[in-house]
């Protein structure tokens, strides 16, 4: 009898320990889930901030280039083409920003969020296929337009062409880095979502 009571007590203690261990593991999973969601939210904030800054720069570029090319005496067709190109790029970026604002990592549906994020990542990955040819053509048109308005031998023309080349290189590097950052952060978040779904 004593032996069976002892075994019964040991079993009860083991059950209590297993229950405590299970409770501890459940808390650990919840804490891990919350930690991953906070990390995703932080990365999403970085993407959001980058896209917001890009929109601000796009608005400035649209206003400045329209004024500058008009002031330089470029053709109305070129000014409209430039403004349209910048407005379309700005519009597409604003659409991506709207999709970013719909994502909720704290309590939202992660499958839906992953879908939005995957589309954003694909958009940024494919952007080079459109942007590079568009910018090469536009840059050539800009040089042609400025050649018509500036005397080729003047120091103003040489300064403009050097400034345009340097600005193009700096802008290209900045654009490449922004694009790469958004794709990298989106990839990291998608990997975390996949980890959470395991």
Task: Give the domain range for residue 74.
Answer: 70-198
Query: Which of 100, 105, 132 shows the shortest CA–CA distance to 118?
Result: 100
**186 domain residue, yes or no:** yes
Interatomic CA distance for residues 116 and 103, integer angstroms: 8
Which residues, other chains included, contact 95 with Cβ-Cβ below 8 Å and sequence gap of 6+? none
**Helical residues (DSSP H) of 1-109, grouped into ranges:** 2-71, 76-102
| Residue-wise pLDDT tens digits, 161-175 | 888 889 888 988 988
Check: CB of residue 40 under 8 Å from CB of residue 192. Answer: yes
In this structure, the answer to whether residues 97 and 188 fall within a common structural domain is yes
In this structure, the answer to whether residues 80 and 21 fall within a common structural domain is no
Check: CB of residue 104 under 8 Å from CB of residue 45. Answer: no
| Residue-wise pLDDT tens digits, 117-173 | 888 888 888 888 888 898 889 888 888 888 877 776 677 777 888 888 898 889 889
**65 domain residue, yes or no:** no
In this structure, the answer to whether residues 18 and 76 fall within a common structural domain is no
pTM over 0.75: no
């Amino acid at each position: 009898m004593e032996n069976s009571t002892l075994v019964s007590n040991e079993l009860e203690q083991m059950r209590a320990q297993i229950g405590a261990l299970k409770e501890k593991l459940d808390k650990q999973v919840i804490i891990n889930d919350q930690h991953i969601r906070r990390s995703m939210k932080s990365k999403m904030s970085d993407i959001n901030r980058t896209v917001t800054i890009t929109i601000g720069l796009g608005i400035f570029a649209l206003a400045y280039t329209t004024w500058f090319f008009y002031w330089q005496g470029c053709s109305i067709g070129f000014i409209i083409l430039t403004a349209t190109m910048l407005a379309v790029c700005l519009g597409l970026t604003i659409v991506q920003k709207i999709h970013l604002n719909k994502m909720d990592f704290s309590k939202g549906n992660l499958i839906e969020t992953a879908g939005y994020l995957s589309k954003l990542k694909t958009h940024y990955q494919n952007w080079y296929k459109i942007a590079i040819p568009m910018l090469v053509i536009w840059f050539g048109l800009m040089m042609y337009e400025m050649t018509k308005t500036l005397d080729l031998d003047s120091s103003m023309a040489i300064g403009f062409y050097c400034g345009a080349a340097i600005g193009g290189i700096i802008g290209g590097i900045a654009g490449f880095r922004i694009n790469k950052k958004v794709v990298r952060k989106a990839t990291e978040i998608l990997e975390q979502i996949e980890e959470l779904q395991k």
